Structure 1
Amino acid sequence: MMAVKELEIDTNKKVQLIIGTQEEVKWIDIDAYVANCQLPDFSFTPDGDFPIGNREKGYADVELRFNKRIGESGSVEIVELYGGPTINSIPSIASGKLRGNKVEIEKALSNYLKRCPENEVSIEEQGDLVIVKAKGVATHSSFPEKGVNAIWILADFLKELDLINNGAYYVVKFINEVAAGDFEGASFGLAKGNVYVNGEDMHKTMMAITFMETYEDGYKLFYNIRQTYGIYEEDIEEGFSKYSDSYGYTFKIEDYMDVLYIDSNKPFVKLMEDIYNDNTPWTSCFKLGHGTSYAKALPNSVYWGPVFPNEEDLCHEANERTKFDNLILATKLFSYYLAEVVLSKESLKG
Structure 2
Amino acid sequence: MYGTVEALIELLSIPSVSGDKENCGKALDYMLEKGEAFGFTCKKAVDNRVGIIEIGEGEETVGILTHVDVADPGNRRLWQCDPFVPVVVNGNIIARGTLAGKGPAIAALFAMKDVWNTYYHRGKSYGKRIQMIIGTGLEHDLSDVRSYLMDHKAPDYGFAPDGVFPICNVSKGTMNILVSFPVKKDVGCISDIKAGNCNQVVPEKCMITLDDDRKFAAAGKAVDSAYPEQGVNAIFKMAAALDSIIGNDRLVLRDDVVFQVIRKLRYGFDEFYGQRAGMPRSKGSFKNEASGNNIYVPTRIYIFKDRLYVNMNVRYSNDTDEKDIIEALEKYFEDDDMRIDNIDSAPGIFVSRNAPFVKAFGDAYEHVTETRNDFTLAQGPSYAQLMDNIVVWGPVLPGREDNRRQPDESISVGELTLIESIYCKALHTMAFTEDSFK
Could you tell me the TM-score, scaled by structure 2's length?
A: 0.69
CA contact (8 A) 1:195 1:229 kept: no
RMSD (Å) for aligned C-alpha atoms? 1.8
Q: Deviations over 1:108-161 (max 9, x none)?
A: xxxxxxxxxxxxxxxxxxxx4211110011111011122111101101122323
Deviation at 1:313, TM superposition (A): 1.1
Alignment partner, residue 44 of structure 1: 159
Identity, in percent, stands at: 27
- How far, CA to CA, are the matches of 2:365 and 2:375 in structure 1? 12
Q: Aligned pair in 2 of structure 1 residues 194, 321: CA closer, same or farther (>3 Å)?
A: farther
Task: Work out which of the residue numbers 372, 377, 388 in structure 2 matches 1:299.
Answer: 388
Alignment partner, residue 2 of structure 1: 113
CA contact (8 A) 2:293 2:317 kept: yes
Structure 2, gaps ≥5 residues long: 1-111
**Alignment partner of 1:66 is 2:178:** no
Matches within 5 A, 1:1-350: 1-8=112-119, 9-71=124-186, 77-99=189-211, 128-159=212-243, 160=245, 161-164=250-253, 165-179=255-269, 181-193=270-282, 195-349=284-438
CA contact (8 A) 1:94 1:154 kept: yes
- How far, CA to CA, are the matches of 1:172 and 1:307 in structure 2? 34
State the one-letter code of the partner of 1:254.
Answer: I
Larger radius of gyration: 1
Q: Deviations over 1:257-315 (max 9, x none)?
A: 12211101000000111111111132110110123222112211011112211421110
- How far, CA to CA, are the matches of 1:40 and 1:70 in structure 2? 52
- How far, CA to CA, are the matches of 2:199 and 2:302 in structure 1? 11
Deviation at 1:177, TM superposition (A): 4.2
Structure 1, gaps ≥5 residues long: 100-127
Q: Aligned pair in 2 of structure 1 residues 303, 176: CA closer, same or farther (>3 Å)?
A: closer
How many residues are aligned here?
Answer: 317
- How far, CA to CA, are the matches of 1:231 and 1:347 in structure 2? 34
Deviation at 1:163, TM superposition (A): 2.7
Q: Aligned pair in 2 of structure 1 residues 172, 280: CA closer, same or farther (>3 Å)?
A: closer
State the one-letter code of the partner of 2:415.
Answer: N
SS in structure 2 opposite 1:163?
A: helix
CA contact (8 A) 1:307 1:313 kept: yes
Q: Aligned pair in 2 of structure 1 residues 235, 253: CA closer, same or farther (>3 Å)?
A: farther
- How far, CA to CA, are the matches of 1:229 and 1:136 in structure 2? 30
- How far, CA to CA, are the matches of 2:325 and 2:388 in structure 1? 24
Could you tell me the TM-score, scaled by structure 1's length?
A: 0.85
Q: Aligned pair in 2 of structure 1 residues 276, 218: CA closer, same or farther (>3 Å)?
A: same
Q: Deviations over 1:198-231 (max 9, x none)?
A: 3321111011111111111221111101011221
CA contact (8 A) 2:172 2:378 kept: yes
SS in structure 1 opposite 2:118?
A: coil
Deviation at 1:182, TM superposition (A): 3.6
Deviation at 1:238, TM superposition (A): 0.7
- How far, CA to CA, are the matches of 2:232 and 2:395 in structure 1? 27
Q: Deviations over 1:160-194 (max 9, x none)?
A: 23335243243234324434x24112244434255
State the one-letter code of the partner of 1:167.
Answer: V
Deviation at 1:49, TM superposition (A): 1.7
Q: Deviations over 1:86-118 (max 9, x none)?
A: 22111110011113xxxxxxxxxxxxxxxxxxx
